[in-house]
Chain A
Amino acid sequence: MFEKEEAKVKLSTDLKSFIDLWKNKSGNLIMILHRVQQEYGYVPREVALELSKILDVPLAKIYGVVTFYHFFKLTKPGKNQIAVCMGTACYLKGGEDIILEIERLLGLPVNGTTEDGEFSLDAVRCIGCCGLAPVMTINGEVFGKVKKDMLPDIIAKFKGKN
């Protein structure tokens, strides 16, 4: 038989009280996962395991949900999270070139994290600032009408911070 994995994580009081609040509501899993990701930046396996116990839901179901939705991550993102919008307007106005250039500048692929853990890069779905296309965000700060030659300066702003 498989040995049962033991949870080795202590959840914060805030997270715990959030889970308690939602525990008995139907359809709570996605809301709780959002809260977990807000706290950790991703859904760590230990936390998923702990959730499975608290909510009495199989770990497989939690993973089924986490892997179905693009929003949830299973790996730890970089300290600075770069997201390049790949909505239609941004695509037409050169979003892909922006991604290629960032890949080149930082030497990391889309969905990857730099070795020092400083930057991670995602191509994301439309963030709805189409008037500013092409758009990218770093840690939520929006940069609009981005051109390739602006990228080194934008990245430098964040390098070594946080």
Chain B
Amino acid sequence: MAYRNYVLVCGGTGCESSSADQIFKNLINEVDAAGMSDQVQVLKTGCFGFCEQGPIVKILPEQAFYVQVKPEDAKEIIQEHVVKGRRVDRLQYKEENSASGAITDTEGMKFYQKQYRIVLRNCGIIDPEKIDEYIARDGYAALEKVLFDMTPEQVIDELKKSGLRGRGGAGFPTWMKWNFSKQVESDQKYIVCNADEGDPGAYMDRSTLEGDPHSVLEAMAIAGFTCGANQGYIYIRAEYPLAIDRLKIAIKQAKEYGLLGENILGSKFSFDIEIRLGAGAFVCGEETALLASLEGNRGMPIPRPPFPAVKGLWGKPTVINNVETNANIPVIILKGGDWYSKIGTATSKGTKVFALTGKIKNSGLIEVPMGITLREIVYDIGGGIPGGKKFKAAQSGGPSGGVITAEHLDTPIDYENLSKLGSIMGSGGLIVMDEDDCMVDFAKFYLEFTVDESCGKCAPCRIGGKQLFGLLEKVTKGTAVVEDIQKMRDISLAMQKASLCGLGQTAPNPVLSTINNFYDEYMAHINDAKCPSGKCKDLMSYEILSDKCVGCTLCARKCPVNCISGEKQKPHVIDQSKCIKCGECYASCKFKAITLG
């Protein structure tokens, strides 16, 4: 430790977009102005995970945790904390509901206490644009170990012992995938990293790539050595410019250090990695569609088998792993499969990264051991639901998953339990809903997404999705009949059984899961034409209560479509035929004279 203090600025997309870069520059200027450049280092790191209260600045070794920092706070932070040793109280994170409302440093924060960081081990700690910092934290030591002390069989054996399963969603054992590809004789093989994170409301992979790109490169090289491939591709969303930039820098640095390219570390093994951009097609998260896209074509899936591990990119054996799966691998090689398999449950080993979002106090990126309960995630890490509202459900697996209800808050989270509950682990989106959210509307949201994203190749997905969406729309408009529920179940079953790829097979999950768990809510829409949470606009109307309205005219002035009329100081009325149900009048009325029913 050459420096007295380290000032870490979160450089994840969330904080970056709220002026983290300006904060970073200002901090450097302030350190210079204080003449302390040789004692204090200012670093921009990957995501700290606590996105709710970003931008975040952390100071080591004290572990002070400053939240919602503004560029103009830089001076005070440096002058007070670094120069005079007095913490800036007003910016420090304060734990809600703690005995003293006390200021907490990083280690004391409930948000971090139940987390276990393997994948995110370097996120928020190292500067992702400096390979030396990755190396200083055992980076590329696993690659070196594999190249000089292990055979491909031993690598596979270690992965087998670890119990690592693919983190992209389906949970296929990683060692089996690698082994299939290894056993195929071929003049050319490929390693592909799937970074086409398409699940709306999830950003685990983006944060990993932004915060620790080398961990993925290292794992891909290890996969190349094990399976006998010399070329890797990272297929990443074009919508992730920051992650792409950091990957480019990382690849360049790794090549300069001889950790990628010809004869890595002087061995006989050569491996190169190229970045290829996706172009916004959710279906490209499916392996065969991803490969079609990599080949420059429309991303449409083809039937399996043959599996990509046998016949993949340009007809050659191809191993496809997701970002999070990759980031686990160097640690497993260094610490051993046995160590890894001690974390988690009987069938699901290790940790899982979740993007915890929606109606939750501490939105952010978390990594937890498998087997943790949803209650611990929502209430201990997430801090509960804002505004004193009640927890209604959480959705895992995005458009392919289902809801977990309050009744199952204490079920340990692993692949098998989630599938028993009618959901899936998925890639890591975890969206919390409160009593204001309508489950029918929510299912419709996801189905609209999958209908839009269906590639149209197979009929069950193309036609089934559209029909299912039509029925849901009827429910939200109050024109459905009870028999429509059975129709929805039938169509869902056909889609699950007959669709060509995972997109169509799992698209009905949000619908089935909400029907099964919130049947009453569907019935309220169908039988009573009521949306209990007041979300389905077609089923509600705003009314002015004549006994409470004082005729202040505020609502009439606020109304964007001028559908409220009445004389001054006399009760007003809403013209329902013109009302667009925007809620402006409801929000502006100071006399609670407007009701929503």
**A residues bordering B, Cβ < 8 Å?**
26-31, 33-34, 64-65, 68-72, 86-93, 97, 100-101, 104, 124-133, 141-142, 144
Contact A92 B277 (CB under 8 A): no
Given contacts A92-B431, A130-B355, contact A27 B296 (CB under 8 A): yes
Given A88-B431, A130-B201, 8 other A-B residues pairs in contact with their CB atoms under 8 A = A88-B445, A92-B358, A124-B239, A125-B239, A131-B14, A131-B363, A132-B14, A132-B18
Indicate which residue in A71, A90, A128 contacts B238 across the interface (CB closer than 8 Å). Answer: A71
Bound together, the chains give a CA A88 to CA B441 distance in angstroms of 12
Number of interface residues of B (CB under 8 A): 53
- Closest Cβ of chain A to B281, distance in Å, is 5
Please name all residues of chain B whose beta carbon is closer than 8 Å to the beta carbon of A104 when the two chains form the complex.
560
Indicate which residue in B14, B297, B580 contacts A129 across the interface (CB closer than 8 Å). Answer: B14
Bound together, the chains give a CA A31 to CA B278 distance in angstroms of 9
Indicate which residue in A31, A87, A129, A141 contacts B13 across the interface (CB closer than 8 Å). Answer: A129
Digit string of B173-209 for contact with A (CB within 8 Å is 1, else 0)?
Answer: 0000000000000000000000001111111001100
* Interface residue? B317 (CB, 8 A): no
A33, A68, A100, A130 interface centre (most CB from chain B within 10 Å): A130
Bound together, the chains give a CA A131 to CA B366 distance in angstroms of 12
- Closest Cβ of chain A to B43, distance in Å, is 21
Contact A69 B363 (CB under 8 A): no
B197, B201, B239, B276 interface centre (most CB from chain A within 10 Å): B201
Please name all residues of chain A whose beta carbon is closer than 8 Å to the beta carbon of B197 when the two chains form the complex.
128
Which residue of A is nearest B360, CB measured? Answer: A89
Please name all residues of chain B whose beta carbon is closer than 8 Å to the beta carbon of A69 when the two chains form the complex.
278-281, 299
Residues of chain B in range 274-297 having any CB-CB distance to chain A below 8 Å? 276-282, 293-297
Please name all residues of chain B whose beta carbon is closer than 8 Å to the beta carbon of A141 when the two chains form the complex.
17
Digit string of B460-474 for contact with A (CB within 8 Å is 1, else 0)?
Answer: 000000000000000
Please name all residues of chain B whose beta carbon is closer than 8 Å to the beta carbon of A88 when the two chains form the complex.
200-201, 357-358, 395, 398, 429, 431, 445-446
Bound together, the chains give a CA A116 to CA B206 distance in angstroms of 36
Which residue of B is nearest A128, CB measured? Answer: B203
Contact A144 B279 (CB under 8 A): no
Contact A128 B240 (CB under 8 A): yes
Contact B431 A68 (CB under 8 A): no
- Closest Cβ of chain B to A45, distance in Å, is 18
Indicate which residue in B203, B281, B442, B560 contacts A68 across the interface (CB closer than 8 Å). Answer: B281
Contact B280 A71 (CB under 8 A): yes
Indicate which residue in A26, A86, A93 contacts B200 across the interface (CB closer than 8 Å). Answer: A86
Residues of chain B in range 125-159 having any CB-CB distance to chain A below 8 Å? none
Which residue of B is nearest A127, CB measured? Answer: B239
Contact A27 B298 (CB under 8 A): no
Digit string of B51-68 for contact with A (CB within 8 Å is 1, else 0)?
Answer: 110100000000000000
Given contacts A30-B277, A69-B281, A86-B200, contact A144 B17 (CB under 8 A): yes
Indicate which residue in B198, B279, B295 contacts A72 across the interface (CB closer than 8 Å). Answer: B279
* Interface residue? B314 (CB, 8 A): yes
* Interface residue? B481 (CB, 8 A): no
Please name all residues of chain B whose beta carbon is closer than 8 Å to the beta carbon of A70 when the two chains form the complex.
279-281
Bound together, the chains give a CA A92 to CA B441 distance in angstroms of 10
Indicate which residue in B17, B279, B297 contacts A33 across the interface (CB closer than 8 Å). Answer: B279
8 pairs of residues in contact across A and B, judged by CB atoms under 8 Å: A87-B201, A92-B359, A124-B239, A126-B201, A131-B364, A132-B17, A141-B17, A144-B14
Bound together, the chains give a CA A124 to CA B280 distance in angstroms of 10
Please name all residues of chain A whose beta carbon is closer than 8 Å to the beta carbon of B398 when the two chains form the complex.
88
Please name all residues of chain B whose beta carbon is closer than 8 Å to the beta carbon of A144 when the two chains form the complex.
14, 17-18
Bound together, the chains give a CA A26 to CA B231 distance in angstroms of 13
Which residue of B is nearest A91, CB measured? Answer: B445
Please name all residues of chain B whose beta carbon is closer than 8 Å to the beta carbon of A90 when the two chains form the complex.
201
Contact A29 B357 (CB under 8 A): no
Contact B296 A71 (CB under 8 A): no
Please name all residues of chain A whose beta carbon is closer than 8 Å to the beta carbon of B560 when the two chains form the complex.
104
Contact B200 A65 (CB under 8 A): no
* Interface residue? B437 (CB, 8 A): yes
Please name all residues of chain A whose beta carbon is closer than 8 Å to the beta carbon of B207 when the two chains form the complex.
128
Given contacts A88-B201, A132-B17, contact A31 B276 (CB under 8 A): yes
- Closest Cβ of chain B to A63, distance in Å, is 10
Bound together, the chains give a CA A129 to CA B206 distance in angstroms of 10
Given contacts A104-B560, A125-B200, contact A30 B279 (CB under 8 A): yes
Bound together, the chains give a CA A31 to CA B277 distance in angstroms of 7
Please name all residues of chain B whose beta carbon is closer than 8 Å to the beta carbon of A100 when the two chains form the complex.
580, 582
Which residue of B is nearest A68, CB measured? Answer: B298
Please name all residues of chain A whose beta carbon is closer than 8 Å to the beta carbon of B14 when the two chains form the complex.
128-132, 144
Please name all residues of chain B whose beta carbon is closer than 8 Å to the beta carbon of A89 when the two chains form the complex.
201, 357-358, 363, 431
Indicate which residue in B13, B278, B279 contacts A128 across the interface (CB closer than 8 Å). Answer: B13
- Closest Cβ of chain B to A26, distance in Å, is 6
* Interface residue? B433 (CB, 8 A): yes
Digit string of B296-308 for contact with A (CB within 8 Å is 1, else 0)?
Answer: 1111000000000
- Closest Cβ of chain B to A53, distance in Å, is 17
Bound together, the chains give a CA A31 to CA B299 distance in angstroms of 14
Please name all residues of chain B whose beta carbon is closer than 8 Å to the beta carbon of A126 when the two chains form the complex.
199-203
Digit string of B202-218 for contact with A (CB within 8 Å is 1, else 0)?
Answer: 11001100000000000
Given contacts A69-B279, A128-B203, contact A133 B239 (CB under 8 A): no
Which residue of B is nearest A143, CB measured? Answer: B17
Q: Which 7 A-B pairs have the closest CB atoms?
A: A131-B51, A88-B201, A142-B17, A69-B279, A128-B203, A70-B280, A71-B280
Given contacts A89-B357, A131-B357, contact A142 B18 (CB under 8 A): yes
- Closest Cβ of chain B to A125, distance in Å, is 6
Which residue of A is nearest B240, CB measured? Answer: A128
Please name all residues of chain B whose beta carbon is closer than 8 Å to the beta carbon of A97 when the two chains form the complex.
582
- Closest Cβ of chain B to A6, distance in Å, is 25
Bound together, the chains give a CA A132 to CA B299 distance in angstroms of 31
Contact A71 B51 (CB under 8 A): no
Indicate which residue in A30, A91, A92, A131 contacts B293 across the interface (CB closer than 8 Å). Answer: A30
Contact B13 A65 (CB under 8 A): no
Which residue of A is nearest B455, CB measured? Answer: A68
- Closest Cβ of chain B to A113, distance in Å, is 19
Please name all residues of chain B whose beta carbon is closer than 8 Å to the beta carbon of A101 when the two chains form the complex.
582
Contact A64 B298 (CB under 8 A): yes
Contact B51 A130 (CB under 8 A): yes
Bound together, the chains give a CA A131 to CA B298 distance in angstroms of 33
Contact B363 A133 (CB under 8 A): yes
Contact A131 B52 (CB under 8 A): yes
- Closest Cβ of chain A to B33, distance in Å, is 28
Residues of chain B in range 430-447 having any CB-CB distance to chain A below 8 Å? 431, 433, 437, 442, 445-446
Please name all residues of chain B whose beta carbon is closer than 8 Å to the beta carbon of A142 when the two chains form the complex.
17-18
Contact A34 B238 (CB under 8 A): yes
Digit string of B557-574 for contact with A (CB within 8 Å is 1, else 0)?
Answer: 000100000000000000
Digit string of B335-375 for contact with A (CB within 8 Å is 1, else 0)?
Answer: 00000000000000000000101110001100000000000
